[in-house]
Chains A and B, each alone.
Chain A
Amino acid sequence: MEQILVNGAILAANYALIALGITLIFSIMNVLNFAHGQMFMLGGLLVYWLVVQIGLPYAAALIGATIIVGVIGMAFEVFFFRQVMRNSTREENTMLLAVGTALLLENAALSLFGEKQRGVPPIVSGVYKLGDAFLPANRAFVFGVSVVLIVAVLLFVNYSRTGRAMRALAQDRTATLLMGVNTARVSTLGFGLGAALAAVAGGLLITVSGVNAGVGTAISTKAFIMIMIGGAGVVSGALLGAVALGFIEAFGYAYLPGSLTYLMIFVALIIFLLIRPQGIMGKPWG
């Protein structure tokens, strides 16, 4: 039982990074980032490449991968999303563009890194014992870094000037523009930050379970589940969704046969959305 709770907490912390990133992008840009899982994957594979092939220390590789993916995210916003949002008559078009960028990233990763499952050796060795549960030191490290980053992002979004501008943008784009905020810059930063968060999550998880180039769609699906549980575009909802999914998954894998866990999660999700279509924290539409 303790073991399940420990596993759930570690999963939840990592998922929270993913959910925060996709929520940030959704609330600021109103874009459902289909490429989020691919950004996660790219972050992981870049860390692998920097550590194993280039020989950088892990910390430098993690920071490097985060910056690279963050810049890719910003470039996507400037060169792709901004243009399409200006020209298209339907807002769903950004969804297609996001799928296009997902394909692009996935196939770029395939030709650059191959299709093999890649892993990085654990950063710290050793095992802690919490009650009856075993906690490998490496997972504790991943958990710690994730929590620190989540707190940092929350502080940034809530208290910094740019963070406030992002929240204002999420509430009302026109009003923010009228208040003299450089919305283009804030949008670009927000997209970059969201992408960077996905990359950090991937870079952390590659030390635990490894990452391959095809993992993107599954991660994106998980990200969607989390924001459906919590409510799209709400930061507290994203965290809640991540915690819920992390623990449900940990319990499911402990008590149910493999494919049944996610089947139950999907069925439960569909029933949940019938009762509360906007998620736990989301605002009802209309």
Chain B
Amino acid sequence: MATATDPAPTRGEKRVLGPFLLIFAPLAAVLFVAIPFVLADMPYWLNVVTNACLLSFASLGVWLTFSIGRVNIAQGAFCLIGGYTVGGLTTFGGLSFWLALPFGGAAAALVGYIIGYPLLRLRGIYFAMVTLSLTEAVRLAFLYFGTMVGVTSITSIPSPPGITSPMAFYLFAAALLILGYAGIWRLQSSRTGGVFRSMRQNEELAASIGIDVARYRVFAFTICCFMGGIAGGIFAALQQNVYPQSYTVADSINFMLYCFLGGLEFVLGPIVGTFALVVSFELLRAIQEYQALLYGILMIVVMLFLPNGLLSFFPALKRLSGGRK
């Protein structure tokens, strides 16, 4: 099921680099030139796109677990772990945000690595349901053990030193996103990415040609959790607080939706999906009362007419105009 943006990994660096730059350059231009230029005087919208960048970063991780054929509804849990780690280290440990952030990612990755081995044996809807339960379990764990220790929520988390304006925070988030995008692109066009795709198509077959399936899928899941932890840590610093209910099942489902909506065949998918949903949600705020209702309808309409994601619009257009797929 290879598409134009999904090149086979064996064709050499040139074939990979071409389409990458074709998408990477416009994306960077939008993120670093167009958005800062247009939204310079609108701190509210700047905050919206900062959120969208961070959510996209976490969704990129979820996309990676999609590429091994797992529907992951646990990203909220790892955002929560990252958020609490960074919040705790900076507020109570007195650590600088920049030192605490890697710990947030590492804590999430470690938890993901440990539970990934057993959990990833499940597949299909079982994996989807168990990861959904995991989100709720982690939230309840923070609630319960937090109540025991006496600290359920961390408030007045210091903002990152060196980042003083909304614009600076946006540029930081955008830089992180472009870095994450490049990283995931590199990964999916490498041999490892090919292994991931082979596992999505048929795990037994992949195992039968000598691929250590268990190790590869834990690898993908750990990276996903790491990205969730990093995003959660930055969110904690951006909002300056973290509560057990900061990330609920609905947030985990949203991360999955962003990937779906953008299109699972494209690395750009989660970014397009996140921006489309977050921005449309804000635009619909003008019609307050029916905002959420329209949001639901919008999603069903997209699903009905573009069941393989927003980005599948272009291949569909190509097909309609007589071109070959």
Interaction A to B: yes
Chain A residues in contact with chain B, CB under 8 A?
Answer: 26, 32, 34, 80, 83-84, 87-90, 92-93, 95-97, 99-101, 103-108, 110-111, 217, 221, 224-225, 227-228, 232, 257, 259-260, 262-263, 266-267, 269-270, 273-274, 277-278, 285-286
Mask, B283-305, CB within 8 Å of A = 1, is: 00000011011011101100110
Closest CB-CB distance, A215 to chain B, in whole Å?
13
Q: Which residues of B contact A106 (CB under 8 A)?
A: 292, 296
Apart from A99-B257, A108-B293, A269-B133, what 17 extra A-B contacts exist at CB < 8 Å? A32-B128, A88-B308, A89-B1, A96-B303, A99-B299, A100-B299, A104-B293, A106-B296, A107-B295, A111-B289, A217-B248, A221-B133, A225-B133, A228-B126, A273-B130, A277-B122, A278-B126
Closest CB-CB distance, A223 to chain B, in whole Å?
9
Residue from the list B136, B147, B261, B289 in contact with A96, Cβ < 8 A: B261
Dominant secondary structure of chain A at its interface with chain B: helix
CB pair B297 A104 closer than 8 Å: yes
Closest CB-CB distance, A170 to chain B, in whole Å?
15
CB pair A90 B296 closer than 8 Å: no
Closest CB-CB distance, A257 to chain B, in whole Å?
8
Residue from the list B71, B143, B261, B289 in contact with A92, Cβ < 8 A: B71
CB pair A32 B118 closer than 8 Å: no
CB pair A263 B133 closer than 8 Å: no
CB pair A266 B300 closer than 8 Å: no
CB pair A110 B307 closer than 8 Å: no
Residue of A nearest to B144 (CB): A259
> How far, in whole Å, are A264 and B171 apart by their CA atoms in the complex?
42
Q: Which of A26, A90, A267, A269 has the most chain B CB atoms inside 10 A of its CB?
A: A90
CB pair A221 B137 closer than 8 Å: no
Q: Does B141 contact A (CB under 8 A)?
A: yes
CB pair B292 A110 closer than 8 Å: yes
> How far, in whole Å, are A217 and B254 apart by their CA atoms in the complex?
13
Chain B residues in contact with chain A, CB under 8 A?
Answer: 1, 71, 115, 118-119, 121-126, 128-130, 132-134, 136-137, 140-141, 143-144, 147, 204, 248-250, 253, 256-257, 260-261, 264, 289-290, 292-293, 295-297, 299-300, 303-304, 307-308
Q: Which of A32, A104, A217 has the most chain B CB atoms inside 10 A of its CB?
A: A104
Q: Which residues of B contact A90 (CB under 8 A)?
A: 264, 308
Residue from the list A103, A105, A266 in contact with B295, Cβ < 8 A: A103
Closest CB-CB distance, A225 to chain B, in whole Å?
7
> How far, in whole Å, are A232 and B136 apart by their CA atoms in the complex?
20
> How far, in whole Å, are A225 and B136 apart by their CA atoms in the complex?
12
Residue from the list A99, A224, A286 in contact with B129, Cβ < 8 A: A224
Q: Which of B71, B289, B293, B308 has the most chain A CB atoms inside 10 A of its CB?
A: B293
CB pair A270 B296 closer than 8 Å: no
> How far, in whole Å, are A187 and B143 apart by their CA atoms in the complex?
42
CB pair A103 B299 closer than 8 Å: yes
Residue of A nearest to B265 (CB): A89
With contact pairs A99-B257, A259-B144, A263-B140 given, residues A232 and B125 touching in the complex (Cβ less than 8 Å):
yes
> How far, in whole Å, are A104 and B133 apart by their CA atoms in the complex?
23
Q: Which residues of B contact A273 (CB under 8 A)?
A: 122, 126, 130
CB pair B130 A80 closer than 8 Å: no
> How far, in whole Å, are A101 and B141 apart by their CA atoms in the complex?
30
> How far, in whole Å, are A213 and B55 apart by their CA atoms in the complex?
26
Q: Which residues of B contact A103 (CB under 8 A)?
A: 292, 295-296, 299
With contact pairs A107-B296, A110-B292, A270-B130 given, residues A259 and B140 touching in the complex (Cβ less than 8 Å):
yes
Q: Which residues of B contact A93 (CB under 8 A)?
A: 260, 303, 307-308
Closest CB-CB distance, A96 to chain B, in whole Å?
4
With contact pairs A103-B299, A232-B125 given, residues A221 and B293 touching in the complex (Cβ less than 8 Å):
no
Q: Which residues of B contact A266 (CB under 8 A)?
A: 133-134, 136-137, 140
Q: Which residues of B contact A26 (CB under 8 A)?
A: 125
Residue of B nearest to A263 (CB): B140
CB pair A84 B293 closer than 8 Å: no
Residue of A nearest to B143 (CB): A259
With contact pairs A103-B299, A107-B292 given, residues A262 and B140 touching in the complex (Cβ less than 8 Å):
yes
Residue from the list A80, A83, A89, A95 in contact with B128, Cβ < 8 A: A95
